Structure 1
Amino acid sequence: MNFEAYPDREMLMVALADRVASELRRAIEVEGRATLSVPGGTTPGPVFDILSGLDLPWDRVSVLLNDERWVPETHPRSNTRLLRERLLRGKAAAAHLVPLYAPADMPEERLDDLAAGIVTVLPITVLVLGMGADMHTASLFPGADKLDEALAPEAPVLMALRADAAAEPRITLTAPVLRDAMHIHILITGEEKRAAIERAAQLPETEAPVRCVLKTATVHWAP
């Protein structure tokens, strides 16, 4: 992995936003379109804030989450809600959101419909991932019920997983989709996660799922 350390989190967020914007812009110039996949949670919020105000041809950008909790957008734990509040506003409001949730009791009921929308915007141009201290990324959690299947080369584009560490059922992009992204960035902060990602490089993917992208990823870290 390529490891880039920054003196503080503000510099990290500015540098990563600039890198993402540049990679999207170049892809649009060459291909006419681009796909951006991003994590949920609050950590990438400052990157989203910066991107939302940048002059990009956002109408040619498809945006999708790495994963989603199986809750409606009105739910306080919805990643989609956070994405609309922080990224899909201002100039970036013109981007096309590819959904990872549809009304149903269980994610399995809508997997095929949601996957059909995702396939049309693959491969991912720019992939930004987070990582937990347990070395999960997206919703590929150590110990998840279908982790082996989600890590396999023949995994479907989208899967529903359940894990003790996840309060709700999750829907997630699988390892092959993540690995196939043209540009892969992992955003982490703090000493605990730096130690975790260094440890992940020495462990099997089932124990450290983030390892599935480490060979080609750039890790962006600040204290």
Structure 2
Amino acid sequence: MTVQLNKFDNATELNAAFAEEIAQKLTQGIEQNGAASLLVSGGNTPKALFSVLKYKDLDWSKVTIALVDDRWVTLDDPASNETMVRQNLLQENAAAAHFIGMKTSHENAFDAVSTVTTNMQNIQMPFDVVILGMGEDGHTASIFPCCAQLDEGLTTKDLILATEPTTAPHQRMTFSKAALLNSKQLYLHLVGENKEAVLNQVRESNDERKAPINAFLNQDKVPMTIMLATSK
């Protein structure tokens, strides 16, 4: 399956087009199944997209939103992806959406896998839209090339796993490769010339262990669209 590349001059143009496309796909899911599911990524890149998406006119009450992954920190920690989503996406029209967070009261992420798995089984699958990000090391979700759980993340049939990268802080909770591929549409959301350079590097290789994003770029199960803005 060919990966589609949609390239924009700046993030403003990307966010307008991307938010409209996401809204259309969620609306299609609602029309077909009575509900729709959206998996989003954390970090700083999606904030501007969320600021547009949250105003889209659709039946958000029938949309369930979850994170692709999250850092195992409390919700008052600036590193919490859940808090970022609550502050930037679950507002305005999108405040009516149902959100399922990953963080539980467990101190250790590895002790919480069973609980998080149970919680996430309530999301309609296949997911209507999954939005991935990519790190400078080619990681996506919290499947890092440096972590001891790399092979598990790429091969397990389980929905959820905990990871502990050696090159980034915090334990993580993440959907597995298999779970993320149980979707109707994958997107890779990138902003900046540096991310474009990393993308070009990883696409030269088929090694998903060195750059786990390749597990999603080099597959023929789910349509994948790269949404790339060369500047902010």
Interval of TM-score (by shorter of Structure 1 and Structure 2): over 0.9
Contact 2:20–2:56 at 8 Å: present in 1 too? no
Match of 1:209 in 2: 212
Structure 1 residue 220 corresponds to structure 2 residue 223: no
Gaps of 5+ in 2: none
Q: Partner amino acid for 2:19?
A: A
Separation in 1 of the partners of 2:74 and 2:197?
A: 34
**Matched residue of 1:37: which SS?**
strand
Aligned to 2:143: 140
CA distance in 2, matches of 1:65, 1:76: 16
Query: Could you tell me which amino acid in structure 2 is paired with residue 195 of structure 1?
Result: A
Separation in 2, partners of 1:27, 1:108: 33
2:94 paired with 1:69: no
Corresponding residue for 1:129? 132
Q: In structure 2, the residue corresponding to 1:110 is in which secondary structure?
A: helix
Structure 1 residue 78: deviation in Å? 0.6
Give % identity. 31
State the shift of 1:119 in Å.
1.7
1:198 Cα shift?
Answer: 2.4
Where does residue 84 of structure 1 map in the other structure? 86
Aligned to 1:13: 15
Alignment of 1:44-59 (within 5 A): 44-59=46-61
Give the TM-score taking structure 2 as reference length.
0.92
Corresponding residue SS for 1:102: coil
* Conservation of the 8 A alpha-carbon contact between 2:187 and 2:225: yes
Question: Which residue identity does 2:112 align to in structure 1?
Answer: R
**Other-structure match for 2:160:** 158
Superposed CA RMSD: 1.1
What is the CA–CA distance in structure 2 between the aligned matches of 1:40 and 1:114, rounded to whole Å? 17
Post-superposition offset of 1:203: 3.1
8 Å Cα contact 1:34/1:124 also seen in 2: yes
SS at match of 1:142: coil
Look up the SS of the partner of 2:186 in the other structure. strand
CA offset at residue 195 of structure 1? 2.3
Q: How many residues align?
A: 222
* 1:123 Cα offset (Å): 2.0
SS of 2:151 mapped into structure 1:
helix
What is the deviation of 1:98?
1.1
Gaps of 5+ in 1: none
